[in-house]
Amino acid sequence: MEDRNHSAAKDEAAAGQDAPGQDNGDASTGAQEPAPDREERKGLGVLQVVSSVFAAGLGVQSSRNRERDFRQGRAGTFIAAGLIFTALFIGAVLTVVKLVLAGAD
């Protein structure tokens, strides 16, 4: 009975090991994670933020750009841009309404 338990423990220990020459991603073997793409490391530019906020405000933001924004963008940047966009949009609507009402007289 003792041999069977010892053999089972030995099999479990061997199952956790990788085959020779196989990279298991362990830091102790010197393997390093691949570096992120250059595009993923840098933040979004002003034009990208403005176009993302404009598209999202109109409801036509693509899922690819939305995912890029969540990966690379900062929440504070999008909040500030969204508030500015909203204020400009309200100002534009008010201006159009005033012009239409002034022309109706």
Task: Name residues whose C-beta falls within 8 Å of residue 69's C-beta, 6 or more positions apart in sequence.
Answer: 44, 52, 78
Task: Name residues whose C-beta falls within 8 Å of residue 73's C-beta, 6 or more positions apart in sequence.
Answer: 43, 44, 49, 52
pLDDT (0 to 100) of residue 3 = 54
The mean of the pLDDT values for the chain is 76
Model-level pTM?
0.54
Delimit the domains of the chain by residue range: 43-105
Question: For 8-29, what is the mean pLDDT?
Answer: 50
Question: For 63-71, what is the mean pLDDT?
Answer: 92
Asked if 52 contacts 24 with a C-beta cutoff of 8 angstroms, the reply is no
Query: pLDDT tens digits for 29-54?
Result: 555 655 555 445 578 899 999 999 99
Tokens encoding 43? 């933040």
